[in-house]
Amino acid sequence: MDIDPARQPRKLRDLIGVQLQRSGLPGTIRVDEAMKLFCAYHGVAPRYDLLNRLGLTEKRSAQYHQLSAGQQRRLALALAVAHNPPVLFLDEPNAGLDVPSRVELHNLMRELRAEGTTIVPGHARYGRSGRDNGPRGDSAAWQDRRNRQSP
């Protein structure tokens, strides 16, 4: 991808998905409203199938502050992948997830990678035990051209 973030910020935003440990969503936004908002921003139809897949169907009308930490993390993941970005940044993706949710996260990550998505995790390993408890991320490189001097 040859994109200049300073000149093409919108194009860059459409090419990346980001799941942070804290989403910054307003506490009163409903789950379905958040999905509509994020998808409208990226010009795609709402991906309610992701809410179903990540166990949030029954929470669609719940406000963000009413969700458990794990549910908030699953919503953040659904929002990050809803527009099918080619690059996905995940900050501590397993944090706050129960075992079934981790399994689904890893399955989703494998599918996304098979479809060509580059996944950049916030750390090298997903598990705290020192074992590899899930799929690893991909390698990525950035080039900062702002301070490059001509030869």
Does the residue 139 lie in any domain?
Answer: no
pLDDT score, position 71: 92
Burial of 17 (C-beta count, 10 Å sphere; 0-12/13-18/19+): buried
Does the residue 21 lie in any domain?
Answer: yes
Does the residue 38 lie in any domain?
Answer: yes
- In this predicted model, what pLDDT tens digit does every residue of 6-19 receive, in sequence order? 888 888 888 888 88
> Who has greater pLDDT, 127 or 137?
137
Does the residue 2 lie in any domain?
Answer: no
Half-sphere exposure of 114 (CA within 13 A, CB side): 6
Residue 92: pLDDT band (50, 70, 90) is confident
- Contacts with 118 (C-beta within 8 Å, 6 or more apart), sequence order: 86, 87, 88, 138, 140
Smallest CA-to-CA distance from 27 within 82, 81, 74, 67 is with: 67
- Per DSSP, the residues of 32-46 read HHHHHHHHHHHT---
Does the residue 48 lie in any domain?
Answer: yes
Q: How far apart are CA 31 and CA 37, in angstroms?
A: 10
pLDDT score, position 123: 63
pLDDT score, position 122: 80
- Total domain count, the chain: 1
- In this predicted model, what pLDDT tens digit does every residue of 31-76 receive, in sequence order? 999 999 999 999 999 999 999 999 999 999 999 999 998 899 999 9
Q: What is the CATH number of the domain that holds 74?
A: 3.40.50.300
Does the residue 24 lie in any domain?
Answer: yes
Structural domain range at position 110 = 10-121
CA quadruple 139, 135, 77, 70: dihedral sign:
negative
Q: Tell me if residue 75 falls in helix, strand or coil.
A: helix
pLDDT score, position 1: 65
The pTM for the full model equals: 0.78
Does the residue 58 lie in any domain?
Answer: yes
Q: How far apart are CA 89 and CA 121, in angstroms?
A: 6
Does the residue 143 lie in any domain?
Answer: no
